[in-house]
Amino acid sequence: DNNSDSKGVALRVPYEDYKIPENNTVCEDGECRDEGMLVGLDQYVALHEQKDILIVLHQMGNHGPAYYKRYPKQFEQFTPTCRTNQLEDCSQEEIINAYDNALLYTDYFLAEIISFLKKYDKDHKTAMIYLSDHGESLGENGVYLHGLPYMIAPDTQKHIGALMWFGERTWKYIDPDLLEQEKDKELSHDNLFHTLLGFFAVKTSVYRNDLDILND
């Protein structure tokens, strides 16, 4: 966890706090980077090699309003940027640039996860599911950040980025025609729970195959 705790979700499973330099080896200027959660992950996998493993990486990601703090300097490709958490002191262009730089770092982080998983393709079925917890307003119509009541929140706060990646051994069990049918279907966080249950073949009465994205 490199964010704001698991809010009780991880009380009964192994948990690591990566917001502190004692656990995160990739920290600078008071900010611990998401990529630090990957350090030592090979050892964790080795300890559980004969078991199914679900690893949840809770990013700091793009959380505002201090978007400029969410990425190392080398990822500042879009300029000028907003260098404060007082968004009213910045232009919309500066805010968007800072947010896009943070997105660029998230792209890098996801690529690093995929590279990590590819090392295990030969002997394991691997997959990555990424999704954001919320969207973000960056000044459109004078609205910033997120958290407005759902009924009045703009789509920019309700629509999220999501990505699924499958290793070669996993892909053999995926029906591409099914995914093609699903590509324009509206999905939500509700689908994540049931998709994970299906992926790990967990048998439970609360599983709903109609909410499992990969169900055939």
Is 187 a member of any domain? no
Q: Is 106 a member of any domain?
A: yes
pLDDT of residue 34: 98
pLDDT at residue 62, as a whole number: 94
Q: What is the pLDDT of residue 30?
A: 92
Asked, for residue 21, whether it belongs to a domain, the answer is no
Average pLDDT score, the chain: 95
Q: What is the CATH number of the domain that holds 45?
A: 3.40.720.10
**145 with 64: CB under 8 angstroms?**
yes
Could you tell me the pTM of the whole model? Answer: 0.94
- Round to whole Å and give the CA distance between 201 and 195: 10
Question: Which letter, b or e, does each residue of 141-151 get, where b requires 16 or more Cβ atoms within 10 Å of its Cβ?
Answer: eeeeebeeeee
Element housing 28 (H / E): strand 27-28
At residue 73, does pLDDT exceed 80?
A: yes
Q: Tell me whether residue 194 is in a domain.
A: no
**Does residue 180 surpass a pLDDT of 90?**
no
Encode pLDDT of 130-163 as tens digits.
999 999 999 999 999 999 999 999 999 999 999 9
The pLDDT assigned to 216 comes to 67
Question: Does some domain include residue 34?
Answer: yes
Q: How far apart are CA 103 and CA 109, in angstroms?
A: 10
d(C-alpha 57, C-alpha 34), whole Å: 8
pLDDT surpassing 90 at residue 65: yes
Picking from 86, 71, 77, the residue whose alpha carbon sits closest to that of residue 32 is 71
Within a domain: residue 114?
yes
The structure tokens 């689908």 sit at 191
- The structure tokens listed for 81 are 């940027």
Distance, in Å, from the CA atom of 28 to the CA atom of 35, rounded to the nearest integer, reads: 12
Task: Domain of residue 131: give its range.
Answer: 27-174
pLDDT tens sequence across 8-53: 999 999 999 999 999 999 999 999 999 999 999 999 999 998 899 9
